[in-house]
């Protein structure tokens, strides 16, 4: 019984609590954004990434700005789509049909949810600094932050099931989370998102990844994870 609680209930309860917390955070941010209560803090943080008195000059040398563009591209629709297609193709070749469907549905659903949320809020992009990257959609929530959290955390959870060592599992998940955080920060650094957009994107993306993982666990679509060890003869 103790082993059952440790291996089944505890991870799922923690994931459910984290998912609920993410929803509450997103709803609170959405309410404050609609009411304009985040604008002062958003402006302060956004300008903190700029040279004092020169809003068109991001902090740091020129190579740092180019590096930020490289990092932010990892959360773009193009990169995430190619990554998802490659992952789904690998899973199909490995005959992991349910896992392939899970990754495709989780990623595609996340992209659809991001688009619908942007259309719902229609928040304007920051207008106090020049945009250092091309943008064509609404600002809230940050699509890069949301989709990078959803996709990389989903793939991280999938990879974590393939390893036994807890340290490796933690490393994979923390690496996925770090990548999502880095992508979100670059959106503010490049002046294309308000900080509240990014925070809301992280919250929405984390919720989506956790909700998909919980649904997959409940439906059993990810299988048993790591392969079982062969029996020892003799």
- Tens-digit pLDDT profile for residues 149-166: 999 998 988 888 888 888
Least confident of 3-17, 37-51, 143-157: 3-17
- pLDDT tens for each residue of 57-91: 899 999 999 999 999 999 999 999 999 999 999 99
**Per-residue CA distances from 185 to 6, 85, 176, 178 (Å):** 35, 26, 15, 11
Whether the per-residue pLDDT at 220 is higher than 80: the answer is no
Omega before 141 within 30 of 0, i.e. cis: yes
Q: Flag whether pLDDT at 141 surpasses 90.
A: yes
Is 125 in a helix, a strand, or coil? coil
| pLDDT recorded at residue 163 | 83
Q: Are 87 and 155 spatial neighbours (Cβ–Cβ below 8 Å)?
A: yes
Handedness of CA 102, 108, 111, 113 (dihedral sign): negative
- Integer Cα distance of 216 and 106 in angstroms: 10
Its pTM stands at 0.86
How does pLDDT run across 87-116, given as a tens digit for each residue? 999 999 989 888 899 899 999 999 999 999
Model pLDDT, residue 11 = 65
Cα 68–chain centre separation: 17
What share of the chain has pLDDT > 90, as a percent?
57
Task: Answer whether residue 144 shows pLDDT above 90.
Answer: yes
């Amino acid at each position: 019984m103790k082993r059952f609680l440790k291996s089944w209930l505890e991870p799922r309860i923690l994931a459910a609590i984290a998912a609920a917390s993410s929803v509450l955070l997103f709803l609170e941010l959405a309410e404050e954004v609609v009411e304009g209560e985040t604008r002062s803090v958003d402006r302060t943080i956004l300008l903190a990434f700029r040279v004092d008195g020169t809003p068109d000059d991001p902090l740091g040398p020129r190579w740092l700005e180019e590096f930020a563009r490289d990092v932010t591209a990892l959360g773009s629709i193009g990169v995430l789509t190619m990554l998802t297609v490659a992952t789904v193709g690998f899973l199909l070749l490995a005959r992991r049909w349910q896992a392939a469907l899970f990754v495709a549905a989780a990623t595609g659903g996340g992209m659809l949810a991001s688009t619908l949320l942007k259309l719902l809020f229609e928040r304007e992009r920051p207008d106090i600094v020049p945009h250092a990257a091309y943008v064509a959609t609404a600002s809230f929530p940050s699509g890069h932050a949301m989709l990078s959290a959803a996709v990389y955390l989903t793939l991280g959870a999938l990879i974590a099931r393939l390893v036994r060592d807890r340290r490796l599992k933690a490393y994979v998940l923390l690496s996925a989370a770090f990548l999502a955080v880095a992508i979100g920060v670059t959106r503010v650094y490049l002046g294309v998102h308000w900080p509240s957009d990014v925070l809301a994107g992280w919250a929405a993306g984390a919720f989506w990844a956790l909700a998909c993982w919980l649904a997959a666990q409940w439906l059993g679509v990810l299988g048993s994870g790591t392969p079982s060890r062969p029996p020892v003869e003799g």
